[in-house]
Chain A
Amino acid sequence: MIVSDIPVCPENIVGETAKIKVEGYRFVTLTCVELDETRVDVLYHFDRDYQMKHLRMTVLKDTPIPSISPVYFAAFLVENEIQDLFGIRFQGLAIDYDRTLYLAEDVKAAPFCKYVVLKTSATLNTPGENPS
């Protein structure tokens, strides 16, 4: 199905998901898509009786996003994955692996970012080079 979405922002994301939970939706997953050098799209997917609902949040890469794991506990895993792969930070995670879910402890790069321009990019490694 083609994605038709509801726009959200970091301020209201927890409230929106709590509402969706009350409506009886099942948590499916999160998707992170890099848009350009500074912005990413974070999509939240939910399902109820085979109908999907998508929330779309466009944020700057250095903005911390509130975690929805207090609402849907299962979200902690995928939020940790996005932390690993895109270098975006989630706040209030139920279990925080601190960017070591998949990657080694000493990796500082975000491998899924095509454009490496975080603020401290001088100290970061380019994607594809894992210095371990």
Chain B
Amino acid sequence: MTKTIIPFGPQHPVLPEPVHLQLTLQDEVITEAIPAFGYVHRGLEKLAEIRDFQQMIYVVERICGICSMIHAMCYCQGLEEMMGIDVPPRARFLRVIWSELHRIHSHLLWMGLFADSFGFESLFMQCWKIREKILDIDEATTGNRVVISVNVIGGVRKDLNAEQIHWILSELKDVEKETLRLETTIMTDYTVKKRTVGKGVLTRQQAYELGLVGPVLRASGIAQDSRMLGYAAFNEIDFAPVVETDGDCYARCKVRFREIFQSIDLIRQAIAKMPDGELAVKVKGRPEGEVVSRVEQPRGEVFYYIKANGKKNLERVRVRTPTFANVPALLAMLPGMWLSDVPVIVLSIDPCISCTER
């Protein structure tokens, strides 16, 4: 049999972002997959030399437009630890609320794109319709739909009043109801099962050794979730990671669905336990030292390394985003699969290329 090399991307209808995969095929079966990057690389970490440490918040927020708030939260938590700042309790609970809202909308977004990858377009529309409710909450509470810019070093900038909280809870009830309907439709559907069960299987051992993160790791039976570190207010909330054991695309889908319901529950808990008080403390002085900060994003664990030397500009900001850690999974999953399964498998890791390349 002759070998064929097929380029996949950078501009491909199923990918919302440009990434290139070079697939080597034997007949219709993939034998090798090599990813190529660089279409979105901007060099954001380098901007730390021009922007000061306060301005960098707005740069890291724009590493990724989907989980922007969580990027900023991770960055701020790193600097708060370095400078020894205690964040007021109300701000910590508000961070939980907004980060979980981000997780819900990111998972719904992924669900839509995933459905689109196997040609289930009406499902894509449904998922995005539910997602709009979350974006409405974001817009009403912070003023922007996507990049919400609520974090500052030392706390948050916006507050929720009683009326807003009441409205959020009623909207979440709708979201929960509609997502539940969606879940029963998707997870029992013959077509969905046909396209996802047993596709792109990663064993527990493989997933751990490849250093994977987030739902991809948890779908392979490993209970690793950075929220267990208890950052923000997660130490005061009842939380346990969602785990599935099959390790295929179907299991990843299931993990994300269960996480949506979990996030709704976490927001309810946070709202119930949120104390009154200050939103932010004043920041004095300049950061100095080295710090590592980790936070759980919708796609997995994000890792920040920050080095400062007492100047206005930081010495180094390094970001390891979840998709960067999940790319090796593609190299392990794709060989042996059919060419027609490539879009489903690629999307099952929830790739965010602008995160990966920064």
* A touches B in complex, CB < 8 A: yes
Chain A residues with a Cβ under 8 A of chain B? 1-3, 21, 26-29, 31-34, 43, 45, 50, 52, 54, 72-74, 76-78, 95, 97, 100-104, 111-112, 114
Q: Within the complex, what minimum Cβ distance (angstroms) separates A126 from chain B?
A: 13
Nearest A residue (CB) for B226: A50
Interface stretch (choices B136-144, B319-327, B335-343)? B319-327
B315 close to chain A: CB less than 8 A: yes
B229 close to chain A: CB less than 8 A: yes
Q: Which residues in chain B, 37-55, are within 8 Å of chain A measured between CB atoms?
A: 37-38, 41, 43, 45-46, 49
Chain B residues with a Cβ under 8 A of chain A? 34, 36-38, 41, 43, 45-46, 49, 81-82, 208-212, 224, 226, 228-229, 289-293, 303, 305, 307, 315-316, 318, 320, 324-325, 327-328, 331, 357
- Say whether A33 contacts B38, CB under 8 Å: no
- Say whether B34 contacts A95, CB under 8 Å: yes
Nearest A residue (CB) for B210: A74
Known contacts: A45-B292, A78-B320. The answer to whether A29 contacts B81 by CB under 8 A is no
With A28-B211, A77-B328 given, can you name 7 additional A-B contacts, CB distance below 8 Å? A1-B81, A1-B293, A2-B81, A3-B292, A33-B316, A74-B211, A74-B325
30 A-B pairs within 8 Å (CB atoms) are namely A1-B81, A1-B293, A2-B81, A2-B291, A2-B292, A3-B292, A21-B209, A27-B210, A28-B325, A29-B324, A31-B305, A33-B318, A45-B303, A50-B226, A50-B229, A52-B292, A72-B211, A73-B331, A74-B325, A77-B324, A77-B327, A77-B328, A100-B38, A101-B36, A101-B37, A102-B37, A102-B357, A104-B38, A111-B43, A111-B46
User: Which residues of B sit under 8 angstroms from A52, Cβ to Cβ?
Assistant: 292
Nearest B residue (CB) for A34: B316
Nearest A residue (CB) for B326: A74
- Say whether B291 contacts A29, CB under 8 Å: no
User: Which residues of B sit under 8 angstroms from A101, Cβ to Cβ?
Assistant: 36-38
Known contacts: A33-B307, A95-B34. The answer to whether A1 contacts B291 by CB under 8 A is yes
Known contacts: A1-B81, A111-B43, A112-B45. The answer to whether A29 contacts B328 by CB under 8 A is no
User: Which residues of B sit under 8 angstroms from A100, Cβ to Cβ?
Assistant: 38
3 nearest A-B residue pairs (beta carbon): A27-B211, A29-B320, A102-B41
Measured in the bound complex, the distance between the Cα atoms of B307 and A31 in whole Å is: 11
